[in-house]
Chains A and B, each alone.
Chain A
Amino acid sequence: MKKKPIPSFLIFWAVILVLALWPLVTAHPQWVCRVFTMAFLYATVAMAWNLTALSGLISLGHAAYFGLGAYGAALMDHYGSGNPAVTLTTAALAAGVYGAVCAAVFRNLRGATFALVSLAAVEIPKVIADNWESVTYGSLGFVGIRPLPLVHMGRVTVDFGGDLTAQYYALLVVLLAGTWVHFKAIHSRWGWALRSIREDEQAAGVLGVPVYPVRWSVMTLSALLTGLCGGLYAHLHGFVEPPVVFSTHLSAMPLVLSILGGRFRWFGPALGALVLYPLDQLVLHPVLPAGHAAVYGLVIVASVLFFPKGLGLRKK
């Protein structure tokens, strides 16, 4: 009798369970906790990126949304209210509005043309953030963004700003929420609409799928989520500067993580992020302090060469 293979989503739940429990059980160095916190953040960005990719468009410019989110939160924190509910909403809105405009303007572009345009679209917010010195402090960036606040839950006080373990659990919740959205983008009526658009736009239109609205909504949602992550990044790190939050590296990372984990499974991008990011930070970073990120480029090259299905770039 053939042995039944373990369903691969069980691996995902096992990983999540282990990650949720180990800080409680064993003593742990804080920086490992920190690395996993960032892994959760980038996993969410990867899933947000994959929302666009699931509709058949490869974006090379999600750094634009991430950076706008980070700057939105930083500006709100500096000039307005420091309440994270307000700053994070601003972050998501800033990125979401830009994403909505991009989605509307680029609605007729596909394939390589869209990828090029998305790459160029990063430059606009980047150059503005870099040069509007009276507001954004130019290339110096913002320093001293307030960390996440203390939260009182009954008698227990949780310090999301200083306690890395608390941040770890907060980001784990964000990751799970992102995974839920990503799950819905694959296993729901809306997800099937996306799939039909990806496979054949004309046929989808004939079947009654509203092609433009569905694509616009998914791209806007993707930008919103990425912006939210950018805002969280600003609060977690406490500083933002244009070359960091608008870097090519941030555009490439979600692509790499999603391809590695498998783009067409609801837990794929998250699993890819939870494997590759800690590997990069915990194993490669100590060995190669400068240049360790080359591993992301290597993964892109290898996956296009050997697993073109993972990219899902089929000829129509």
Chain B
Amino acid sequence: MWAQFLIGVLSLGFFYALTTLGFSLIFGVTHAFNLAHGELIVLSGYLAYGLMKAWGWAFWMTLPVCMLFLTVLLVMVHQVLKRVGEPFELNSLVITFGMALIAQNVMLFFFSADYRLIPTSGGAVFSPFRGAYVTETHLWTFALSAGATAAVFLMLHRTFLGKALRATIQEREAARLAGIHVKRMKGVAFAIGGILIGLAGPLFGRLAYLHPAGGLEATLIAVVITIFAGVGHIRSLLFGACVLAALESGAALVLGTNWRELVSALILIMLLLWKPHGLLMGRRSAPEL
């Protein structure tokens, strides 16, 4: 039983890391709070569901389409957010809240309010211990999330583009002085965020029920882990995601499945009370230094 719990937590934790990665990157580079994050993930999930249902595509075939579609969508969101005035943080929060509402209604229009699940084979693929089973969904979630996280990690730490992105996250003014095109970096961050959201959506549809109002939970999870880990720290992000997954699974085990939703909300409130300046704590702009 404990082995089964651990398998579940690991796969869920890696999935949470994938969910957070896009949000964290976008927030770190552009300082935009994307409250529509969860809705976009659910939208991507619906897209995969629709493709599988309508044309009988295999699960893996939907992934590139979802990634491409969400990248285009996120670049469009970026075009809108570029025009938002000061104070950017609060304004972006309110405007993406509006976008979340639009996305919810679009999904309601196309897919109605029914709960839907991307069908899975459900059977165990292999069992490493007695009484513990690894299903196909576990494998997909773990492999795709770990792969995407590793890819982003390598991109940030091994390539020149990653260096420029990290510089923008750490100190925007200095990055600009060093000749980094900060505006272009913002576009890049949104595009990568779109790829990651597009990848997370179909997985979300396998792990949980899709319904138009289900995005808020994913958004809260992304915000919680980002605040806990800070921006641009992939390893602590992974750690935070696994801790949150363990806490949620523990709450689901002890109290019942539905109380799980309370965990991320409570942790978010406590984190923000503890760090009232939220995510940008300790990051002063250049003129203040």
Contact = CB atoms under 8 A, between A and B. Distances in A.
Interface residues of B, number: 47
B104 interface: yes
B158 interface: no
Nearest to A293: B105
Given A131-B256, A305-B84, A112 B105 contact: no
Interface string A290-316: 111110111111001100100101110
Interface string A194-225: 00000000000000000000000000000000
B259 A308 contact: no
Interface stretch (A3-11, A22-30, A75-83, A114-122): A114-122
Contacts of B109: 288, 290-291, 294
A60 interface: yes
B254 to A, nearest CB: 13
A109 B105 CA distance: 31
Given A124-B262, A298-B102, A313-B87, A305 B93 contact: no
A297 B276 contact: no
Contacts of A122: 265
B167 interface: no
A244 B80 CA distance: 30
A252 interface: yes
A111 B256 contact: no
Contacts of A248: 100-101, 104, 213, 216
B105 A301 contact: no
B90 interface: yes
Interface in B247-289: 256, 258-259, 261-262, 264-266, 268-269, 272-273, 276-278
B94 A291 contact: no
Interface in B19-33: 33
Interface in B76-111: 80, 83-87, 89-91, 93-95, 97-106, 108-109
Contacts of A21: none
B220 interface: yes
A299 B35 CA distance: 16
A241 B181 CA distance: 50
Given A112-B89, A243-B213, A293-B105, A58 B220 contact: no
Nearest to A288: B109
Contact of B91 (A106, A247, A311): A311
A293 B216 CA distance: 17
A107 to B, nearest CB: 10
Interface string B125-154: 000000000000000000000000000000
A111 B268 contact: no
A117 B201 CA distance: 25
A34 interface: no
Contacts of A1: none
A265 interface: no
Q: Interface on chain B toward A: helix, strand, loop, or mixed SS?
A: helix
Contacts of B273: 105-106, 109, 117
A117 B256 CA distance: 25
Contacts of A112: 33, 87, 89-90, 93, 278
Contacts of A297: 98-105
Contacts of B83: 305
Contact of B268 (A105, A116, A291, A300): A116
B265 A294 contact: no
Contacts of B94: 58, 60, 115, 255, 300, 304, 311, 313
Nearest to B112: A290
A305 B265 contact: no
Nearest to B107: A291
A249 interface: yes
A108 B262 contact: no
B199 interface: no
B237 interface: no
Contacts of A121: 265, 269
A173 B35 CA distance: 37
A127 B261 contact: yes
B169 interface: no
A159 interface: no
A131 B255 CA distance: 10
Given A116-B268, A305-B80, A111 B98 contact: no
Given A301-B99, A313-B90, 10 more contacts: A113-B278, A117-B273, A119-B216, A128-B262, A252-B98, A293-B101, A294-B102, A294-B106, A300-B95, A314-B87
25 contacts: A58-B90, A60-B93, A60-B94, A105-B273, A109-B272, A109-B273, A112-B33, A112-B278, A113-B278, A117-B269, A119-B220, A120-B220, A120-B264, A120-B266, A123-B220, A290-B112, A294-B101, A297-B104, A299-B98, A300-B95, A300-B98, A301-B80, A301-B99, A304-B95, A311-B91
